[in-house]
Amino acid sequence: MSTCSGNLGAGSFLRRLTLAVTLGVASYGSGFAQEATNPTRGQQDNGTSQVGPTNNSRSPVLTVDRDRLFTGSLFGKRVLAEVEEERARLATEARKVDAALAAEEKDLTEQRKQLSSEEFRALADAFDAKVQALRNERPAQELAFTQMFEREQQSYFEKIGPILGDVVRERGGVVIVDRRVILLTTQNIDVTDEAIARIDAVLGDGTTQPD
């Protein structure tokens, strides 16, 4: 695992903050896969009030928009595009399979007039078994799809630990929390945009190894 100055590796960084950097890697499952279909969700008003000066005041507590931290980054946008592409591919494949089964069922129905009851029953049972086998494959495909998305997200949040650590130290902070847990603040303590810019500069879209 990569490290940064001050021995703030991705894993140790998160542990040192005692999970205060609530990036929620473990919470992303099939539910977060659904979130991927709405990348603007993290950009909507989350109800956090902000009053007073908006300068980058030093504060021990900094906040990030967890959702936008991912969806707003080049890495996240690349993952979301790949997720949508895979979703479309699976949907197209499912429609083709359904169309083929419908045609096969129609053909089987037409053959019924020419077959004995035993012959038709044998063909019908074989068709039913085929349909059931194909249906059983779909949950496995959906699970693989979800796991792919989770792996990409986990990789992202592991890699950005040192980057967030730099932001915390430079801002004189101690912890980063999800901004949704903050009800009211008199300072501009949100560093989402700054963090995304840093992450993009270091990771890009995640397809190349950082220097």
- Which whole number is the average pLDDT over 42-48? 43
Q: For the chain, give the percent of residues with pLDDT over 70.
A: 71
Does 109 map to a domain?
A: no
Does 122 map to a domain?
A: no
- 17-32 confidence digits (pLDDT tens): 333 333 333 333 333 3
**Report field, pTM of the whole predicted structure over 0.75:** no
pLDDT given for residue 65 in this prediction: 92
pLDDT given for residue 88 in this prediction: 92
Q: Are strands 61-64 and 49-50 parallel, antiparallel or unpaired?
A: unpaired
Confidence tier at 142 by pLDDT (50, 70, 90):
confident
Does 131 map to a domain?
A: no
Does 14 map to a domain?
A: yes
Lowest mean pLDDT, pick from 26-30, 136-140, 187-191, 200-204: 26-30
Alpha carbons 192 and 69: distance in angstroms, whole number:
6
Does 192 map to a domain?
A: yes
Does 59 map to a domain?
A: yes
Confidence tier at 138 by pLDDT (50, 70, 90):
confident
Does 124 map to a domain?
A: no
pLDDT, mean over the chain: 76
- Which whole number is the average pLDDT over 123-147? 88
**Count of domains forming the chain:** 1
For the chain, strand residue ranges (E) read 49-50, 61-64, 175-178, 184-185
Lookup: tokens for 190: 């949100």
Residue 30's domain comprises: 5-93+152-203
Does 15 map to a domain?
A: yes
